[in-house]
Amino acid sequence: MARTVAGRSSMDERNQQQEAKLRYVLGPEDEGTLLRTILRSKLNMSRRLMTKLKTVDQGITVNGKRLYMDARLHAGDMVELRLPTETSETIEPQPMELDILYEDQDLLAVNKPPGLIVHPTLGHYKDTLANGVMHYWLERGESYRFRPVHRLDELTSGVVLIAKNAYAHQQLSIQLQNRAVVKEYIAFVHGVVAEATGDITGPIDRDPEQPHIRIVTETGYPALTSYEVLQTYREASKVKVLLGTGRTHQIRVHMRWLGHPLIGDPMYTLPEYDHARFAGVMDRQALHAERIEFTHPLTGKRVRIEAPLAEDLVRLQAFLEQV
């Protein structure tokens, strides 16, 4: 079995060759297998994506020809998917300075600064990461739909991974569901964390009295946050955090439940800590998405992407070392 990707051959041919192609060559073990089964079991295609590609000219071919889904294939046959380019027509391109961490034909990773919303929302259609990315692609003569694989809170900085086609997005979503994506964060929290490492497993759900806030409650959804203390200061700790699940505000909620809320986070603070102590030093939650690691959906290779700490967190760290 072989799995390859055909991509752009030069910078000047982007407009003609943006469409990614995924190829699967059947091995002896695949002899007599239905095309539909190959698409589902070998390429992990969803029914929705299969239906969509069937409407695209040469969207799904076997040895260059279109076949019915119940056609039986043979060893050596080559199944090819043509992933057409798309665009997010409702997102207005907007010039924006972007810190590109990684890019290939299928993926884009950006180091999001704090204070930037990832995707337009009701009443907030501009000044988002999506607007900037759409302009970035437009300037390069490229057309893609904005498909964030995951999101960060507005005030959280760090890596945001974006898929350029439906197949890449679907495959990474499966990896997220299967916990095959490593998402590592750096957080600065109030107080000295006693245990050097630990797992926080408190279930999370909405606060019934304040629906925009999450709380740990026995009736909540399962959540797992693992942490490691990297450095302690007189009145704070720097911790590395790994997400086992992806609940809204999970790190902020779990660290508060542990008794060590994030510095600069008034929503999830505790009365025993002086939130105003860091005013002017850290004016947002001290949280940074430092690393994401995953299996590339088309090449099958493991990819690791890291984002350096945001400038305000570097300043906070220097401040903590001095007090």
Residues annotated as catalytic (active site), given as ranges = 153
Helix (H) or strand (E) holding 315: helix 311-322
Tokens of 5: 């990707």
**Could you tell me how far CA 199 lies from the centroid of its own chain?**
22
The closest of 144, 153, 150, 145 to 173, measured between CA atoms, is: 150
Half-sphere exposure (Cβ direction) of 120: Cα atoms closer than 13 Å: 19
**Burial state string for 55-82 with b = 16 or more CB within 10 A and e = fewer than 16:** eeeebbbbeeeeeeeeeebeeebebbbb
| First-to-final CA distance of the chain | 60
Whether residue 249 contacts residue 268, with contact meaning beta carbons closer than 8 Å, is answered with yes
- Range list of β-strands (E), the chain: 2-6, 20-25, 60-62, 78-83, 100-103, 107-112, 147-148, 157-163, 182-190, 197-200, 204-207, 210-216, 225-232, 236-243, 287-295, 302-306
Distance (Å, whole) CA 312 – CA 67:
56
